[in-house]
Amino acid sequence: MIYDRITLPVNEIPKFWLNILPSLPEPLPDPIPKIGEKPCREKVLKMFESSWTKEALWQEYAPVARVRVPDEVLEYYIRVGRPTPLYRARRLEEYLRTPARIYFKREDTLPTGSFKLNTIIPQIYYAKKEGFEFIVSSTGAGQTGSAVAAVARAMGFKAKIFMVRSKYKSAPLRGTFMKLCGAEFTPSPSPETEIGRKYYSVNPEHPGDLEICAKEAAEWAQKSKFKTYVVKGSFFNFVVLHQTIIGLEVKKQLEIIDETPDVLIGCVGAGSNFLGLTLPFVHDVIKGKENYKFIAVRSDVCAPEINGEYRYDLLAPDTEGPLYKMYTLGVTTEVPPIIAEGLRHHFSSPILSYLVNKKIVKVVAYKEKEALKAGALVTGLENFIPAAESSYAIKAAIDEALKAKETGEEKVIVANISGNGFLDLAGYAQVLKLEK
Amino acid sequence: MIYDRITLPVNEIPKFWLNILPSLPEPLPDPIPKIGEKPCREKVLKMFESSWTKEALWQEYAPVARVRVPDEVLEYYIRVGRPTPLYRARRLEEYLRTPARIYFKREDTLPTGSFKLNTIIPQIYYAKKEGFEFIVSSTGAGQTGSAVAAVARAMGFKAKIFMVRSKYKSAPLRGTFMKLCGAEFTPSPSPETEIGRKYYSVNPEHPGDLEICAKEAAEWAQKSKFKTYVVKGSFFNFVVLHQTIIGLEVKKQLEIIDETPDVLIGCVGAGSNFLGLTLPFVHDVIKGKENYKFIAVRSDVCAPEINGEYRYDLLAPDTEGPLYKMYTLGVTTEVPPIIAEGLRHHFSSPILSYLVNKKIVKVVAYKEKEALKAGALVTGLENFIPAAESSYAIKAAIDEALKAKETGEEKVIVANISGNGFLDLAGYAQVLKLEK
């Protein structure tokens, strides 16, 4: 019997998240509170004090290598399907006629559709513990919003989700999911905030964008009569910390089958999906114990590590701070729409930027069509539909497997499947011209 | 730590399917080959000889209580996520303030979206083993078609799927999934068959129905230059046999947590999803070992066991046979459309009909809106989206839990979640009026 799905018993779920910060050869550059000021992480954290939890404020620069996962979070992780399977894509290997062994970490099996649950669960757990009364979130493609709506409801919170209007119009079903969960759902720009009205009053059908959307959520939270927690979907160190559950599970799973990875691959928007898989392995490389290769996969329309600069930049235009040291295309850059909306970030998280700058992580970029073709290939051969974002990671895994074929190496390739593509099917059809 | 997801190690997957036929107190009534003839199963099987596999012909009336699952099928089951989790819906229990314990068997975690894989995998495996060269299938809502397209591709077959045009028009994404898998996809009625042309020539946008669709598939298979296997989605004994993997896993999972079920619940189209969960438990009831309650859940627009008759009827209009003894609304009855297309069968399988007639299984029916409301409740509280069909089973589980609340009983309720509802979100929105 061949077991191509490597599971991990629920009681072996990792009990700690891995914090990479203390292991970095040099400290991560501090953010700058305001244009013209000097880097100072304390001042920046102060700016977040009212809208973040105390736990998040501490985790953002935790001075310890491991952070305990609360039991309630572990129980919740298990309910939604953690540990997720590690899956050997044997038919894809056969199709490619490669000597490489390809493993997929199956975050697509999580029930709200993506890996976002890994951070949304602890964030809302801490919010509850610290007396927050309301949850608000902004969302682009809707994967963060779906997870927020579901977890908030399950933990007894009312939630409000602002979703970029153009995204909602082109793919309304994630909005439907949030409404089903009972969340208050608001296309952005909306008439409900000052920043929203600026655009809404001129054009009630204004398409919106992620920055306006995030600002609306922040303003709404600030003005709310409830103590309101604003969920973070990616970018920040503490979000990345939560995602390391992915890679910690993979480590245990690879041990079970006695495999050592050669290459670890993930797609990148801001970076938490990629870092979630790779940081536990990056840790061993930094410590000189291992010599893995890491590939962060970008959309070619938006690859700041390739086409941008490593410098301090703002997170949103028309703000005065904070500024983070990161690869950026420039905060005002307009990025063309792609199906894999989750990859359309024009800067990357401080940790990923640092690792790319230190040449620990390599970055590649693919065109939309070649990525989605790889996703389609896997749908047929391995019988699950990867999220549009995940198809970029699959494309890179295929290319690595083909290189191994040329050299005859029995490479072990591990790629992170960030989510499922049920709600990306219309996008697949459009790009691959499947309609008749 | 609370473990609300009861898993089963992959090596403990059941190695045999359960065949209920030898355990029935009286033999299942034989089908009638042709109007006016006498019941004769051998003659009916003869009619299927060219389009069924030998294995299916044998399994349909297997004289043994257990049928071995081939290793290759077990390996495939494991790849797609079997054993599926048994899940305790603790937050639903808390919401209902019931002393009952509610368990969901999570067939929604299967990657093509539903439990259909359980039979499609062995069917296509046997077809390959027996030298078939091509796979054809008809599909309504598309859950069968999605599973067929994926498994056929993975096993190296070309496949052709006929899908009822009106279903494809109202919910095209399952069609997209099939195309992604590389299947030839044809809205029915099509110009490609004689029966299809009858309708297509008059109206190329003819909405079609399941019967025309099935006939097109059969005709196409018969005329094909390839030896073509026509997949069966439900109804037949051998399909039901394959689905017993569901209940056999549940038995082991309940043993692990030392629970004895009081009520077992599943939604019903033709019956394979409900029977898959319940037959291993029905077996124990027939043998006098246990005394479980079984509830088969119907849509109120289509409940032959409640509003129909138990008699011989045809499977499709304008045919002369075979006829099966079953609950039927009458073969020409028009059933209004509902979101849960999979429940729109106007007759039920011979085994289910028999068990209902013997009062071993109770049948209830719900309105669409009350069912989908139950599905929405679970989406929020338990963070996964049930298929529209599954929401009917959930509604019944909730009603049982509320009865237990009245009586104060600590009832153990097990309901089968037949599939996920990602591609039913538009239907949920329409019925529950979620759009703004």
- Pick from A117, A150, A176: CB nearest B428: A176
Chain A residue with minimal CA distance to B171?
A: A426
- Token pair of A358, please? 């230190």
Chain B residue with minimal CA distance to A180?
A: B376
Half-sphere exposure of B244 (CA within 13 A, CB side): 23
User: Given this model, what pLDDT does residue B436 score?
Assistant: 55
User: Given this model, what pLDDT does residue B50 score?
Assistant: 85
Distance from CA of B138 to the nearest CA of A (A): 18
Cis peptide before A187 (omega within 30 of 0): no
Q: Mutating which of A110, A184, A383, A420 best tests the B interface, going by the most B Cβ atoms within 10 A?
A: A383
Residue A158 contacts B, CB cutoff 8 Å: no
Chain B residue with minimal CA distance to A432?
A: B180
**Using a CB-CB distance cutoff of 8 angstroms, which residues of chain B are in contact with residue A1?**
11, 71, 74-75
Q: What rounded mean pLDDT belongs to chain A?
A: 96
Chain B residue with minimal CA distance to A379?
A: B181
Chain B residue with minimal CA distance to A91?
A: B154
User: Given this model, what pLDDT does residue A318 score?
Assistant: 84
- Token pair of B428, please? 């949920």
User: 10 Å Cβ neighbour count for B403?
Assistant: 15
pLDDT band at B140 (very low <50, low <70, confident <90, very high): confident
The residues in B 80-99 lying below 8 A from A, measured between CB atoms, are: 80-81, 85, 87, 91
Mean pLDDT of B381-393: 98
Residue A155 contacts B, CB cutoff 8 Å: no
DSSP letter assigned to residue A110: S
Place of tokens 């494309």: A395
Tell whether the model's pLDDT for residue B117 goes beyond 70: yes
- Pick from A10, A382, A423: CB nearest B5: A10
CB-based contacts of A29, cutoff 8 Å, min separation 6: A39, A325, A350, A354
Q: What is the pLDDT of residues B227-241, one digit of tens each?
A: 999 999 999 999 999
- Pick from B1, B79, B176: CB nearest A425: B176
User: Given this model, what pLDDT does residue B363 score?
Assistant: 98
- List C-alpha distances in Å: B22 to A342, B19, B62, B351: 55, 7, 8, 12
Mapping DSSP onto H, E and C, the string for chain B reads: CCCCEECCCHHHCCCEEECCHHHCCCCCCCCECCCCCCCCHHHHHHHHCCCCCHHHHHHCCCCCCEEECCHHHHHHHHHCCCCCCEEECHHHHHHHCCCCEEEEEEHHHCCCCECCHHHHHHHHHHHHHCCCCEEEEEECCCHHHHHHHHHHHHCCCEEEEEEEHHHHHHCCHHHHHHHHCCCEEEEECCCCCHHHHHHHCCCCCCCCCHHHHHHHHHHHHHHCCCCEEECCCCCCHHHHHHHHHHHHHHHHHHHHCCCCCCEEEEECCCCHHHHHHHHHHHHHHHCCCCCCEEEEEEECCECHHHHCEEEEEECCCCCCCCEEEEEECCCCCCCCCCCCHHHCCCECCHHHHHHHHCCCEEEEEECHHHHHHHHHHHHHHHCCCECHHHHHHHHHHHHHHHHHHHHCCCCEEEEEECEECHHHHHHHHHHHCCCC
More confident residue, B428 or B436: B428
- Token pair of A103, please? 């493993």
- Pick from A79, A87, A153: CB nearest B4: A79
DSSP letter assigned to residue A146: H
Asked if A9's CB is within 8 angstroms of B112's CB, the reply is no
Residue B236 contacts A, CB cutoff 8 Å: no
Mean pLDDT of B373-394: 98
User: Given this model, what pLDDT does residue A334 score?
Assistant: 85
At the topology level, CATH places domain B5-14+81-114+244-432 in Rossmann fold (3.40.50)
**Using a CB-CB distance cutoff of 8 angstroms, which residues of chain B are in contact with residue A429?**
172, 176, 179
**Using a CB-CB distance cutoff of 8 angstroms, which residues of chain A are in contact with residue B12?**
none
Residue environment code for A10-39, b if the CB has 16+ CB neighbours within 10 A, otherwise e: beebbeebbbbbeebeeebbbbbbeeeeeb
Alpha-carbon span A192 to A163, nearest angstrom: 13
Alpha-carbon span A104 to B94, nearest angstrom: 36
Closest CA to B61 of B35, B24, B36: B24
Half-sphere exposure of A267 (CA within 13 A, CB side): 34
Taking 70 as the pLDDT cut, the residues of chain A under it are 436
User: Given this model, what pLDDT does residue A316 score?
Assistant: 86
**Using a CB-CB distance cutoff of 8 angstroms, which residues of chain B are in contact with residue A121?**
none
Residue A380 contacts B, CB cutoff 8 Å: yes
Coil vs helix vs strand at A417: strand
**Using a CB-CB distance cutoff of 8 angstroms, which residues of chain B are in contact with residue A142?**
none
- Pick from A81, A85, A182: CB nearest B380: A182
Chain B residue with minimal CA distance to A6?
A: B10
Asked if A9's CB is within 8 angstroms of B3's CB, the reply is no
**Using a CB-CB distance cutoff of 8 angstroms, which residues of chain B are in contact with residue A149?**
380
Asked if B113's CB is within 8 angstroms of A422's CB, the reply is yes
Distance from CA of B156 to the nearest CA of A (A): 9
**Using a CB-CB distance cutoff of 8 angstroms, which residues of chain B are in contact with residue A120?**
none
Which contacts of B291-294 are long-range, i.e. CB under 8 A and separated by 24 or more positions?
Answer: B292/B261, B292/B262, B292/B263, B292/B264, B293/B262, B293/B263, B293/B264, B293/B362, B294/B263, B294/B264, B294/B265, B294/B355, B294/B360, B294/B361, B294/B362
Residue A111 contacts B, CB cutoff 8 Å: yes
- CB-based burial of residue B312 (10 Å sphere; 0-12 exposed, 13-18 middle, 19+ buried)? middle
**Using a CB-CB distance cutoff of 8 angstroms, which residues of chain A are in contact with residue B111?**
108-109, 383-385, 420
Alpha-carbon span A2 to A87, nearest angstrom: 12
- Pick from B150, B384, B423: CB nearest A111: B384
- Token pair of A161, please? 């989700």
Mapping DSSP onto H, E and C, the string for A38-86 reads: CCCHHHHHHHHCCCCCHHHHHHCCCCCCEEECCHHHHHHHHHHCCCCCE
Q: Which CATH code of 3.40.50.620, 3.30.360.10, 3.40.50.720, 3.40.50.1100 fits the domain covering A16-62+116-237?
A: 3.40.50.1100
Alpha-carbon span A230 to B234, nearest angstrom: 48
Q: Mutating which of B157, B176, B253, B382 best tests the A interface, going by the most A Cβ atoms within 10 A?
A: B176
Closest CA to A104 of A309, A246, A210, A1: A246
Closest CA to A349 of A216, A231, A233, A249: A233
Question: Do the domains at B5-14+81-114+244-432 and B16-62+116-237 have one common CATH topology?
Answer: yes
**Using a CB-CB distance cutoff of 8 angstroms, which residues of chain B are in contact with residue A181?**
379-380
Biggest CA pair distance of chain A: 64
| Range of weakest confidence among A291-300, A316-325, B130-139, B398-407 | A316-325
- List C-alpha distances in Å: A378 to A99, A405, A417, B18, B158: 18, 19, 11, 33, 16
Asked if B181's CB is within 8 angstroms of A78's CB, the reply is no
Tell whether the model's pLDDT for residue B41 goes beyond 90: yes
Backbone angles phi, psi at A295, to 5 degrees: -120, 115
So where are chain A's domains? 5-14+81-114+244-432, 16-62+116-237
User: Given this model, what pLDDT does residue A436 score?
Assistant: 55
